Structure 1
Amino acid sequence: MSQTLVLDGKLSDAKQLGRILYVIHGLTFFFSLGLLSILPVLANYVKRPDSEGTFVHSHHTWMIRSFWYYALWMTLGGLLFITIIGIPVAWLMWCAAWIWKAYRLIRGFVDLNNNRAMYN
């Protein structure tokens, strides 16, 4: 019985931390276009092993992958932006990456609250 309570407490704590990290990712995403998201992604890396064996583990992986793919697309857009010809493509790439990242943050937060694991 007490082991069940410990597991439920672990899951509850991991889920609450996941919520907090989604919110921090969202705030850094909206206020710095994701530049400051390195801080919550570091927390994802540190806390992901603690959530091993729960559905929250998949959410940490989801946030980590979202960050790195978003950083990749923003960097590629930046490289295109420094060429005169690539500026329209860069803006399109940045807008698409922003919408994609916003979707992943919202989708992840909703699925975390509904106790669903994320596919990775």
Structure 2
Amino acid sequence: MSGHIVLPEQTERTLNHLVLAVYILIAISLFTALATGIVGVLIAHLKRDEARGSWLESHFTWLIQTFWYSIVGYAVAIVLFFTIIGIPFAAILCAATWIWSLYRLVVGYVSFNQAKALAV
């Protein structure tokens, strides 16, 4: 945790709980068509500034990137779906985006659970 600012204990505890909640919300969104992910990414956007400079900031950024990059992947898949030739590619892209998102959530959570910053 060197190179990071130390937050007041209560602030760090609160942000820690919020990061965990965002991980859970985005993970649930993998199974519920992104509804909870929107809530999670809003929390991450709103609270990232409070965590600025701490190890928790990297987790908020990681979660924000995971959510928005997955939205781009799904959006491209939807566009491909509307072309007859692109339907198989759309299915592959949807599956790849889902697996990539799950991978990022697992890697991020493991790092979070060890109280380590992520390289974003």
Q: State the match for 2:18 in structure 1.
A: 17
Q: Does 1:103 align with 2:94?
A: no
Q: CA deviation at 1:9?
A: 2.6
**Alpha-carbon deviations, 1:57-110, whole Å to 9, x = none?**
010000101111100010001100000000001100000000000111111111
Which residue of structure 1 lines up, in the alignment, with residue 4 of structure 2? Answer: none
Q: Take 1:89 and 1:75, find their aligned partners in 2: how far apart are those partners?
A: 13
**Which structure is higher in helix share?**
1
- Give the secondary structure class of the aligned counterpart of 1:30: coil
* TM-score, length of structure 1 as denominator length: 0.89
Which blocks of at least 5 consecutive residues in structure 2 are unaligned? 1-6
Corresponding residue for residue 29 of structure 1: 30
CA distance in 2, matches of 1:104, 1:67: 10
Give the aligned partner of residue 88 of structure 1.
Answer: 88
- Paired residues, what number? 115
Which residue identity does 2:83 align to in structure 1?
T
Is there any run of 5+ residues in structure 1 with no aligned partner, and where?
1-5
CA–CA distance in structure 1, aligned partners of residues 108 and 47 of structure 2: 17
CA contact (8 A) 1:29 1:35 kept: no
Task: Give 1:30-109 correspondences, 5 Å limit.
Answer: 30-32=31-33, 34-109=34-109
CA RMSD in angstroms comes to: 1.6
TM-score when normalising by structure 2: 0.89
Runs of 4 or more, structure 1, over 2 Å off, are none
